[in-house]
């Protein structure tokens, strides 16, 4: 059984779980079910990226597709190029995962994640190819000679994306912001410093020296708190921390304190609302967004549309409801007027524009936007996460905790889409209450669903 599509493409340990053979088969499957003659491909800075991109490109070209390799590029940059050119694309990246992991994300010719039906069709084709061991040398219908697709390298294609970013914001004349920018040794390493320089921002750049191994290693949005000391040491106004493929942003204020996706969403929503630019006075968030965000927006008359975890669900809901802003606590923010997917560098520019226009510090803006409720989250490895929905013992305990919290807190349990685990999250008036409730729920989840390997 090959790897399956999760919430964000196919992902696994490169060369053992996500193998070149599987990537080649996926390339064939994608070409057969996503015809069009041309496919954009890009990657982040992992050492395994070239290997998998080459295998994927081989599968695509074997089916007669022309492959345009744009090299190292942020996922949102590749999504923008796909939409701008009207052709599908594939990104080789495992986002915020360690460098040994890698993944393949397929994007439609609109620059969006694939619709469920098309994703299933590609999976079905992939299953057939894997079942046949991917061997097609003896296939009498195989394309040969000039009919075989080609690989066209276009390393400068990303410059059009830079132009798009710069024209997406209106920086204030004379704005003198100093920032520290953490590129996670990933796809933002060249793009983010170049864009910041073009809009006149004084940036101290760190973690922008990728070697194929150090991506996300003690840096980037999953380790944003480590940037705090660099922000204070530089006397910077704020910090910007991207992940490996630059589709998310976590910010830090001038005191080195983390400003997560929920706070960023609240700030942008309130600003757009006040300027009459928040279409339908509503935004999109996922089930993981903090209760404090929902309360803050409700108090200002802003409605919330809730989706499952994953920026693809956010993007779908934005489109379905004709809304302009949505995102996740993790820092995936989608500005629908300018982008088709979460874009960390665009979010950073929008943040700099907001801070400059307001004349206030990020700390003040974040504090005024919302008050975060203490949140405790645990990832519980279990034998059978798929049985969560029918685990009456678990839901009985959930009901008890919810009754005790009343309107002052929230409980969320969900099976992971990427591993054999259940996510247990509780928000409560105090951190101690949240932690105690999580421990109760974790215990019953383990009893009901069994330890890993059982």
* Ordered DSSP codes for 257-310: -EE-HHHHHHHHHHHHHHTT-SGGGEEEEETTS-HHHHHHHHHTT-EEEEE-SS
53 and 107 housed in the same domain: yes
Environment class of 68 (CB within 10 Å of its CB; exposed 0-12, middle 13-18, buried 19+): buried
Give the pLDDT score at 132: 78
Asked whether 438 and 426 are in contact (CB, 8 A), the reply is yes
Q: Within a domain: residue 107?
A: yes
164 and 269 housed in the same domain: yes
Torsions phi, psi for 184 (to 5 deg): 60, 20
Give the pLDDT score at 442: 94
349 and 385 housed in the same domain: no
Q: Within a domain: residue 5?
A: no
Q: Does residue 218 carry a pLDDT above 70?
A: yes
250 and 360 housed in the same domain: yes
Q: Does residue 418 carry a pLDDT above 80?
A: no
State the sign of the Cα–Cα–Cα–Cα dihedral 23, 29, 30, 31.
positive
CATH number at residue 390: 3.30.310.50
pLDDT digits (tens, 9 = 90+) for 117-160: 999 999 999 988 888 755 443 456 766 567 767 778 888 899 99
Environment class of 157 (CB within 10 Å of its CB; exposed 0-12, middle 13-18, buried 19+): buried
192 and 316 housed in the same domain: yes
Helix or strand run (H / E) with residue 325: strand 325-327
Domain residues for the domain of 208 are 160-369
CA distance 386 to 308: 16
296 and 361 housed in the same domain: yes
Percentage of residues in the chain with pLDDT exceeding 70? 95
Q: Does residue 1 carry a pLDDT above 60?
A: no
Within 10 Å of residue 156's Cβ, how many Cβ atoms?
9
Average pLDDT in the 104-112 region? 95
Q: Does residue 163 carry a pLDDT above 60?
A: yes
Give the pLDDT score at 137: 37
Q: Quick check: helix, strand or coil at residue 195? A: helix
Q: Within a domain: residue 2?
A: no
Environment class of 287 (CB within 10 Å of its CB; exposed 0-12, middle 13-18, buried 19+): middle
193 and 215 housed in the same domain: yes
pLDDT digits (tens, 9 = 90+) for 41-97: 999 999 889 989 999 999 999 999 999 999 999 999 999 999 999 999 999 999 999
Measured in whole angstroms, the distance separating CA 245 from the mean position of its chain's CA atoms is 8
- Which range (143-152, 234-243, 326-335, 369-378) has the least confidence? 143-152
The two tokens of residue 10 are 């196919």
Quick one: DSSP state of residue 117? H
Mean pLDDT of the chain: 91
Q: Within a domain: residue 454?
A: no
Q: Which of 338, 369, 400 is the last residue of a domain?
A: 369
Q: Which of 120, 155, 190 is the last residue of a domain?
A: 155
CA atoms within 13 A on the CB side of 368: 12
Give the pLDDT score at 15: 83
Q: Quick check: helix, strand or coil at residue 79? A: helix
Q: Which of 336, 369, 402 is the last residue of a domain?
A: 369
Tell me if the pTM is above 0.75: yes
Known active-site residue 361? no
- Report in angstroms the alpha-carbon separations of 19 from 6, 35, 49, 407: 17, 24, 11, 48
Bridge-partner residues for 12, per DSSP?
A: 102
Q: Within a domain: residue 124?
A: yes
Give the pLDDT score at 43: 94
14 and 98 housed in the same domain: yes
173 and 104 housed in the same domain: no
Q: Within a domain: residue 190?
A: yes
Give the pLDDT score at 140: 65
Q: Does residue 303 carry a pLDDT above 70?
A: yes
Q: Within a domain: residue 380?
A: yes
Asked whether 130 and 2 are in contact (CB, 8 A), the reply is yes
Average pLDDT in the 160-189 region? 91
Within 10 Å of residue 65's Cβ, how many Cβ atoms?
27
Q: Does residue 234 carry a pLDDT above 60?
A: yes
* Total domains in the fold of the chain: 3
Higher pLDDT, 3 or 294: 294
Q: Within a domain: residue 271?
A: yes
Q: Among 95, 289, 330, 416, which one carries the catalytic annotation?
A: 95
CATH number at residue 170: 3.40.120.10
326 and 178 housed in the same domain: yes
259 and 148 housed in the same domain: no
174 and 228 housed in the same domain: yes
């Amino acid at each position: 059984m090959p790897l399956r599509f999760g919430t964000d493409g196919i992902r696994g340990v490169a060369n053992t779980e996500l193998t070149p053979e599987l990537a080649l088969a996926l390339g064939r499957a994608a070409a057969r079910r996503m015809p069009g003659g041309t496919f954009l491909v890009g990657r982040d800075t992992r050492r395994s990226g070239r290997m998998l991109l080459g295998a994927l490109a081989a599968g695509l070209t074997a089916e007669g597709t022309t492959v345009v390799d744009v090299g190292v590029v942020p996922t949102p940059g590749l999504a923008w190029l796909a939409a701008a050119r009207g052709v599908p694309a594939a990104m080789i990246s495992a986002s915020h995962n360690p460098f040994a992991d890698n993944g393949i994300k397929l994007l439609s010719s609109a620059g969006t994640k694939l619709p469920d039906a098309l994703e299933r069709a590609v999976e079905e084709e992939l299953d057939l190819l894997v079942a046949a061991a991917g061997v097609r040398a003896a296939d009498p219908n195989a394309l040969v000679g000039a009919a075989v697709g080609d690989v066209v390298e276009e390393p400068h294609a990303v410059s059009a994306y830079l132009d798009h970013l710069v024209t997406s914001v209106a920086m204030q004349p004379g704005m003198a912001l100093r920032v520290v920018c953490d590129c996670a040794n990933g796809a933002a390493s060249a793009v983010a410093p170049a864009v910041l320089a073009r809009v006149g921002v004084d940036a101290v750049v760190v973690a922008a020296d990728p070697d194929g191994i150090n991506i996300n290693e003690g840096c980037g949005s999953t380790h944003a708190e480590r940037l705090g000391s660099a922000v204070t040491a530089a006397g910077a106004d704020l910090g910007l921390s991207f992940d490996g493929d630059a589709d998310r942003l976590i910010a830090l204020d001038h005191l080195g304190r983390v400003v997560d996706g929920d706070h960023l969403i609240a700030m942008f929503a309130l600003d757009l609302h006040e300027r009459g630019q928040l279409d339908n006075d509503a935004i999109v968030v996922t089930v993981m967004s903090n209760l404090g965000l929902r309360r803050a927006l409700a108090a200002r008359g802003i409605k919330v549309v809730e989706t499952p975890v994953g920026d693809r669900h956010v993007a779908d809901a934005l489109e379905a409801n004709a809304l302009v802003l949505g995102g996740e606590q993790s820092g995936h923010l989608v500005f629908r007027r300018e982008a088709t997917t979460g874009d960390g560098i665009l979010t950073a520019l929008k943040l700099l524009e907001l801070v400059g226009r307001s004349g206030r510090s990020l700390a003040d803006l974040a504090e005024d936007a919302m008050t975060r409720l203490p949140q405790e989250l645990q990832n519980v490895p279990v034998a059978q996460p798929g049985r969560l929905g029918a685990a009456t013992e678990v839901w009985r305990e959930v009901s008890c905790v919810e009754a005790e919290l009343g309107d002052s807190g929230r409980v969320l349990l969900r099976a992971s889409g990427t591993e054999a685990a259940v996510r247990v999250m509780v928000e409560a008036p105090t951190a101690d209450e949240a932690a105690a409730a999580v421990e109760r729920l974790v215990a019953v989840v383990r009893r009901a669903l069994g330890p890993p390997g059982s």
